Amino acid sequence: MKSFYTVKFLPENKEIRVVEGTSLLFAAIKAGITINTPCGGKGICGKCRALVTPAPLPTPQEKKILSEEEIGKGWRLSCQHQVNANLNVEIPSSSRYFRQAILTKIQGGKISLSPPVKRVSFPIPSLSLGERSIGEKVLPPQLAIDLYSLRHLAQSFKKGRAFASVINAHQVLEVNQESRLFGIAFDIGTTTVVGYLVNLETGEMLDVHAITNPQVIYGDDVISRIEYASREDGLKNLSQAILAGVNTIIKELCKKNHLSPEEKKFLR
């Protein structure tokens, strides 16, 4: 069974718990600190150095990049170590990746949209007692509907009108009179990822949220990341990092704009 260790990052004094074997780079990300990785973690640029206490044994690569004096003081390369003990790790500003200024203000106004998700209204059918196939009677034959939505469709008749949100005209996503429709457009750049929250019915741009592209820990530039992608698990790690980033933006935009989990389902 794997052990868990505490890593305290300085000067923030931020403590996190990680499972043994977690790379120092990941531990830092978990603590909200992004470290410079111009060489993509190959241990050749020396830009990710950190002061580690107690200092682990230096790797052969560190002996090539760091001076004896630095090694003696406890300087190590973050990309070369996994956490196998409780540690204090000081990350100097020269090893930090500082987020560049990102445009996060909405320009306002509306954009013209042709979203695949739209809301349509179906008339209330006249149903006789014992009629079994409500969906067939109400919905066009090309529309698929799951059991959950079908039940809501029947319930909504009682309220007067039925609204069905439809994707690509083939699938009913939800039947709900109160639902609003939102979408998020992502701009995924090498350095930053930006999400724009849009009202899909009016085209109004409602909010924007930006983060540093989490793939930055695998290299600051595209070439380093392409090289990293060819390593074992490289592609998997890169996709997991960007998915985590996109999910962070979705959560943040939903939280800031008081969107319900039901509405989130339209953001997939």
Q: Give the binding site for ligand FES (CB under 6 A).
A: 37-39, 41, 43-48, 77, 79
CB of 228 to ligand FES, least distance (A): 11
| Min dist. Cβ of residue 108 to ligand FES (A) | 41
Give the CB-nearest residue to ligand FES.
79
Minimum CB distance to ligand FES, residue 223 (Å): 14
In the 8-state DSSP scheme, what is residue 265?
G
Nearer to ligand FES, 195 or 219 (CB): 219
Closest by CA position to 37, among listed 25, 53, 27: 25
Q: Which two tokens stand for residue 37?
A: 């990785």
Angstrom distance (rounded) from CA 176 to CA 153: 8
Is the distance from CB of 34 to CB of 216 less than 8 angstroms? yes
Shortest distance, position 77 Cβ to ligand FES, whole Å: 5
Token representation of residue 1: 């069974």
Which of residues 220 and 263 has its CB atom nearest to ligand FES in the complex?
220
Contact call for residues 115 and 56 (beta carbons, < 8 A): no
174 has which bridge partners?
Answer: 165
Residue type, 228: Y
Query: Between residues 37 and 156, which has the closer beta carbon with respect to ligand FES?
Result: 37
Nearer to ligand FES, 45 or 208 (CB): 45
